[in-house]
Structure 1
């Protein structure tokens, strides 16, 4: 019988591992130097990258249940020979990744539908844009995608000193608020995933109203449509898949996976949101309506394996502290309107022959 998984995650090697050193060589010295470096270091395991904690935790759910609930597929534009160091690193880190694509330069998104992908994680902006484009191919329908963002190189302090943003989270917490708890209250081995609301779980319909008319127009729109569910966003199906996995975990292992919603909405505009979740029959374990406050202290308290948000400002604030994935979706993130992705930070790409 063919294998059937509840969730399929496709991840690039640069999202799974820290490939920054080889990437710098490729940028500065060219392909031949890159290949020589990889050959010389073929037995040196790559260090975990931003997507590593999520992948490891997802695969641990298979171990806990004894079921093949989740499949993680490595997709790479390298050829098979150049990818040997990646394969050795997978073995070194004891990751049960059995399926792979090494495309030798072909865009890996071509094969996402063949893998029946539910979530695609990459460090290449164009790949994520292609998958999430509302005018793109039907082949990507139902596939969630996120641009895995490298952490800030500087050590994150426990206090904020952040610039004001242009996003609707204009109010920030006091700079003296600690963001790193002394000890984690969470169960050992628990997988925690955080979603933003508008533009992530939900479409950006309401967010467009806010961008065009401000907070008053946004609140009026949400009040008028309080009984009309929000349209589905790019992470809707992925969240539903996670709920299916929670059900498969059963009572004994249910706590191994916990989901969170952290949104800039306040209580005045929650009715439509709750109506939507009820309509979808989607249960999110925790919901935090921060009403314009900075999300980062809440994220630090949650300590997630990954945080999905469609706001570059929220991503910039959070990435020194937690693994982040930028959901490049909606009107504010179209190629013409969106800001440069993570300014002054080179995005690792997968080098090819």
Structure 2
């Protein structure tokens, strides 16, 4: 089919909010289904109809493509505001400037060495809200949490995974057929050696975290090879490339760190702002809260596969209201109730059908 192409003169045309938001949602949906041969053809056909229905649709789409917006990691409201303001004279520089001011991370604009490119090329990966479990050839069971990516390198002498992004849980296989090769997990900050174990590893922006459920793990920071530590069952740590930042010794904390493998988010007295940041990992778009309620404590067990249900649970248990501006932009605001009117803290998030 032929596609209407916006003219140069239309590059400065302001676009209605509904159109820019629709373009943003279509971009995210198409990224979710992919462009390979097995992609969702119904989604692509529906997008084609939307694209050709109005020249302004084509203009909004062209701006997204021209500006190189990676909307999978950009809150749609940011992209929407950028599209409304974009014009031919400001172009790419304005787009990048607005994204930088908004504090968006992960939208890297250099192609060859970007983390985004490494994620796309990873051997195993999951999308936002997806969890995946695979069994490797050596018998190791590898689980990937939401929005995660892993590279694998198994040779005659070693088994090695590299956590490119996100979070994984590993139950190491015996590898008896290959002489029990050592098993390593590399992160941006250092390396972990599994010593017959079950453990979870998470890659943060400036650090990595490990929690050990069974066996032991040897942790070596990238720039402190002579200061390795060994963590045993029930222990965990956060480290950067030079040293250990923090450490815990609590079986409950270790198990909670891996609760996502069972589809659960387990928290105790976590500030609401931090809780929403965690919950937001399992859904596309922006999920935030007003600063005046960000410190409200949240405790309980929450199903990560139904984030809308969790938000409804919060609105019943805390003095907050959930405002859904679009499906991609949700903000938790102070509610009309006083704290004395809400459920006791121990009830927050507890749902016996999911425990």
Instruction: Give the alignment's TM-score, normalised by structure 2.
Output: 0.27
Which of the two has greater strand per residue?
2
Q: Which has the larger radius of gyration?
A: 2
Q: Which one has more relative contact order, counting CA pairs under 8 Å at least 6 apart?
A: 1
